[in-house]
Amino acid sequence: MLARAATWWTVLRISIEERLVYRGDFALGTLMRFLPIVTQIFLWAAVYEAIEAAGSGSTRIVGYSYRDMIAYYLLTMVSRVFSSMPGLASGIARDIRNGTIKKYLVQPIDMLGFLLLYRLAHKLVYYTVAAAPFALVFFLCRGYFAGWPDGSTMLAFIASLAMAFLLGFYIEATLGMMGFWFLEVNSLLFVYMLFSFFFSGHMFPIDMLPGAWGQIVKQIPLQYLAYFPAAVFLGKVTGPELYWGLWTQFGWTVLFIVLSRVVFHLGTRRYSGYGG
Amino acid sequence: MMNTLTSYFRVFLTFARNSLVRDMTFRTNFLIDLISSTAWVLMNVAFYTLIFRYTPAIGANTGWEKYQFFLFLATSLLINSLVHALFMTNADDLSELVRTGSLDFALLKPIDTQFLVSLVRVEWSALGNFFVGLALMGYAMYKLQYVPGVAQIVLYPVYVLCGVAIYYSLMIALAATSVWLGRNLTLFDFWFYITNFSRYPMEIYQGPWGTPLRRLFTFCIPVLVVVNVPARLLVRPINPQSLEDWILPGFAILATIGSLAGSRWVFQRALWSYRSASS
Encode pLDDT of B65-82 as tens digits: 899 999 999 999 999 999
Q: How far is B213 from B216, CA to CA, in rounded Å? A: 5
Q: How far is B55 from chain A (nearest CA, A)?
A: 5
pLDDT reported for residue A273: 74
Q: Which residues contact A149 (CB under 8 A, 6 or more apart)?
A: A157, A233, A234, A235
Q: Do A54 and B43 lie within an 8 Å CB cutoff?
A: no
> Three-state SS for B56?
coil
Q: How far is A238 from A244, CA to CA, in rounded Å? A: 10
Give the model's confidence band at B27: pLDDT under 50 very low, under 70 low, under 90 confident, else very high: confident
Q: How far is A83 from A139, CA to CA, in rounded Å? A: 23
pLDDT reported for residue B246: 75
- CA-atom Rg of chain B in angstroms: 20
**Domain ranges for chain A:** 2-270
| Comparison of pLDDT for A141 and A170, the residue scoring more | A170
* Helix or strand holding residue A41 (H, E): helix A35-54
pLDDT reported for residue A146: 83
Q: Do B57 and A190 lie within an 8 Å CB cutoff?
A: no
Q: How far is A240 from chain B (nearest CA, A)?
A: 29
> Which among B56, B193, B196 is the nearest to A50, CB-wise?
B56
Give the model's confidence band at B185: pLDDT under 50 very low, under 70 low, under 90 confident, else very high: low
| Comparison of pLDDT for A1 and A150, the residue scoring more | A150
ipTM over 0.85: yes
Q: Which residues contact B2 (CB under 8 A, 6 or more apart)?
A: none
pLDDT reported for residue B279: 46
Other CB atoms within 10 Å distance of the CB of residue A197: 17
- Terminal CA-to-CA distance of chain B, rounded, Å? 37
Q: How far is B210 from A143, CA to CA, in rounded Å? A: 17
The whole-model pTM stands at 0.87
Q: CB contact, 8 Å: A187 with chain B?
A: yes
Q: How far is A104 from chain B (nearest CA, A)?
A: 30
**B217-235 mean pLDDT:** 89
Q: Do B196 and A39 lie within an 8 Å CB cutoff?
A: yes
How is residue B34 annotated by DSSP? H
A67-76, B98-107, B143-152: which has the highest mean pLDDT?
A: A67-76
Amino acid making up residue B122 = V
Q: Do B62 and A61 lie within an 8 Å CB cutoff?
A: no
| pLDDT greater than 90 at residue A110 | no
Q: Do B204 and A52 lie within an 8 Å CB cutoff?
A: no
Q: Which residues contact A201 (CB under 8 A, 6 or more apart)?
A: A76, A223, A225, A226, A227, A228, A230, A231
Q: CB contact, 8 Å: A258 with chain B?
A: no
> Which among B43, B58, B61 is the nearest to A47, CB-wise?
B58
> Three-state SS for B273?
helix
Q: Do B54 and A61 lie within an 8 Å CB cutoff?
A: yes
Is residue B242 left, alpha or beta, with left meaning phi > 0 and alpha meaning psi from -120 to 50? beta
Give me the residues of A, 43-102, that contact B with CB < 8 A. 43, 45-54, 61-62
Give the model's confidence band at B7: pLDDT under 50 very low, under 70 low, under 90 confident, else very high: very high
pLDDT reported for residue B238: 43
Encode pLDDT of A217-237 as tens digits: 888 999 999 999 999 999 888
Q: Do B58 and A29 lie within an 8 Å CB cutoff?
A: no
Give the model's confidence band at B183: pLDDT under 50 very low, under 70 low, under 90 confident, else very high: low
Cα angle vertex A86, ends A84, A92, to 5°?
120
Q: How far is B94 from B106, CA to CA, in rounded Å? A: 11
Q: How far is B43 from chain A (nearest CA, A)?
A: 7
Other CB atoms within 10 Å distance of the CB of residue B128: 21
Q: Do B205 and A42 lie within an 8 Å CB cutoff?
A: yes
**B193-214 mean pLDDT:** 88
**B207-212 mean pLDDT:** 88
Residue ranges in A55-110 assigned as alpha helix (H): 66-83, 88-98, 102-106
